[in-house]
Each structure stands twice: as C-alpha cells, then as structure tokens.
Amino acid sequence: MSKKLILCVVLALSLILVGTGYAYWTDTLNVTTKATTGDLDVTFVDLGAYAQYANETETNGWSIIDGIVKGDYQGFIPSNFWGLDAKDYNEVFNGNKDAYYDHADGYNRVEMDAELLDPGEELENDIYPGFPYGKGDVHGDTISIELYNMYPGYAQAFRSDIINTGSIAARLSAVNFKLSRLIVNEEEIDVNAKTKAMIGVALLVQDEDYPTTNSTYGEIVKLASHFSGDDEVFELGGVKFVRLSALENLDEEILENFILIPEDNSQHRADLFIGIAVDPDADGVYTTGSVADMKKNDDSKTQNKGIKLDITFGWDQFNAGSDPDTDNILKKQN
C-alpha cells in the first residue's frame, strides 16, 4: 500500500470524527393533554296551547274559559279544541287560532299569541328519538305570551317542554317573578294596583316522567300552593290563580336538586304549564260587580289596563357549590 493511500484514509476518518465529535445523546418525553369546555343549555321546545298532547287532555278539561255558550261549547273551549289529530306539535295553536276567533265573534275581541322569542339554532340531532321534536326544530330561552282585551272571568292556558340540549346536567335553582309596565305599539299601557290584583297566573312545572317509576321528583313548581288568602288568589275553572299583586318580589321555592340530564328522555324532561286569567270578581271587590248586586266601584279603574310579567327560571350546572372533602397527592405541589 502506498503512503498516499494511507493519508487519504486517515483524512476521511478525521472528517467523520469532526462532524460528530461535538454532539451528545438526547431524548425527550411528552405529555399531551387535550381538553375542551362543554356547554350548559337548558331551553324551551314545543310551545303550544293547552293541550296538544292527548295525555294532557282531561275529561271536559278546558283550554280557554270565555263564558260563551254557543253550539257544543258551554262557556269554555275544551282542551282538545286545538286538534290533537293534527300532530303539528311545533305550531302553537295547530293552525286553529282563527277558528277560535270565528267562534268568539260578536262575544269578545280577545287577541292571543304565543311564541319563542329569538329562537336559537335548530336542534342538531334528535334529542329524544320518537318524540315530535328533534333535528331541525327550533328552540328558545324566552316564551312570550300575549293576551289582549281579556275580561273578568276569562282564562287561557299554555304548555311547553323544558329540555337540556347541552353537555352538562343542569339543576333548577330558582324561579323569579318580575312585574313591569306594558308597552304596545310604542305606547305605554296604564297599570294600577287593581290591575295587578285582578290578573292572575297559574304555574306548574313537573317531571315529564311523573308519576311513572322513572320519576323521583313529581311536581317541581306548584305556584298556588304558597298562597291561600282571597287577597292572594282567586279560583276559576277549578284552578287557583295567584294575583300578580302577590307575586311582587317573590322567589319561588323549588324542589331541591331537580336535575335535567342531557339527551336522556328517561331522566327529568320537564313539562311547563301556565295559565293567565282575570278575576271574575262576582262580589264586586274591584269592579261594580253584577247589576243584581251592584257596587259603587269605578269600572274605568280596571278597564283598558295592562301589565307585563316576566318569569325567570335559573339553572346552575349540576355540581355548583360542590367541593369534595378530600385531597390528592397533588396537594404536595401547592
């Protein structure tokens, strides 16, 4: 072997060592954590006149009490008036509102409406498979009920479902009531103490499964159960209505720990029933009463008046206020 060849080999090895001689062996470990936040979304669906479900229809039950005796109707509109066979559960009056107007023509000029205000996005899936609402149906957090030109002895009832479309179970924590002035067509409607006393509300929220074996709660909100005096309630059609004057600054006591579980039709889907009425006032406490027993009250004090009632249902995530009395080894890093 020539000396020239040996020098070439040595030079090549030297280049290799120069290229790696200044590095060290290294290694890494990685912890990858993926986390997202869920959502709390309790909402109203399936708003309707009472009753659009067959199981809500009682024998001779009423949906409207109007005092009109005409044809088959003896002073009230039965709860099946709105057409149970139509099965259009997302139409408030099942298309029959005009039919009531025709029936009442010449007797009253009541105007009625109910809707979900600012409805949210359409339901993304069938929350409760087999039920009449699901993917594509709208939902909302505010129900608006408007009843104009009511009169003493008139009452009307509505219904809605309350469901949880979020990813976290929700707990009903409070029900609040607020009275305020009513504005119609940018005009403020007069209100007084007699108005608040003559108009009443009935409110029932119950577990959808009550009283089946799946239910552990039953009636959750029973508004009239907290009131009894004549100055607090009046009765019409077998229902006690709480005078709005008795509702000011009231926080309703509710069944503790009522839970709505997401996407589970066997766990506490709630029904809401609400009625609005005007005291018949047969004794003439607020009005002149009847001709047979006329009082000296001024009827103008209670005519052409109005008021707005807001009912707010407050929901917490199911574990609000929960701080377990325990610890973990990670406490050492505190």
In angstroms, rounded to a whole number, what is the distance separating the alpha carbons of residues 164 and 41? 6
170, 164 contact by CB (below 8 A): yes
pLDDT tens, per residue, the chain with 334 residues: 454 554 555 555 555 555 555 567 776 677 767 676 678 788 888 888 887 666 666 656 899 999 999 988 999 998 888 875 545 556 788 888 999 999 999 999 999 988 887 666 666 666 665 565 666 566 778 888 889 999 999 999 998 888 888 888 888 888 888 888 888 777 788 888 888 899 999 999 888 766 555 556 777 888 998 888 899 999 999 999 999 999 876 666 666 668 888 765 555 678 889 999 999 998 899 999 888 889 988 888 888 988 888 888 888 888 888 888 898 988 899 9
The pLDDT of residue 59:
59
The pLDDT of residue 215:
58
The pLDDT of residue 226:
87
Percentage helix, strand, coil, to 5, in the chain?
15, 35, 50
User: Which element (helix H / strand E) includes 124?
Assistant: none
In angstroms, rounded to a whole number, what is the distance separating the alpha carbons of residues 124 and 105? 42
The pLDDT of residue 10:
54
Name the nearest CA neighbour of 209 among 199, 201, 217. 217
In angstroms, rounded to a whole number, what is the distance separating the alpha carbons of residues 178 and 147? 18
The pLDDT of residue 93:
86
The pLDDT of residue 22:
57
Residue 275 bridge partners (DSSP): 157, 202
The pLDDT of residue 100:
94
The pLDDT of residue 210:
64
In angstroms, rounded to a whole number, what is the distance separating the alpha carbons of residues 318 and 171? 5
User: pTM of this prediction?
Assistant: 0.84
In angstroms, rounded to a whole number, what is the distance separating the alpha carbons of residues 78 and 63? 6
In angstroms, rounded to a whole number, what is the distance separating the alpha carbons of residues 10 and 272? 92
Looking at the chain, list the stretches that DSSP marks H as alpha helix, in order from N- to C-terminal side: 3-20, 97-104, 193-198
Number of residues assigned to the chain: 334
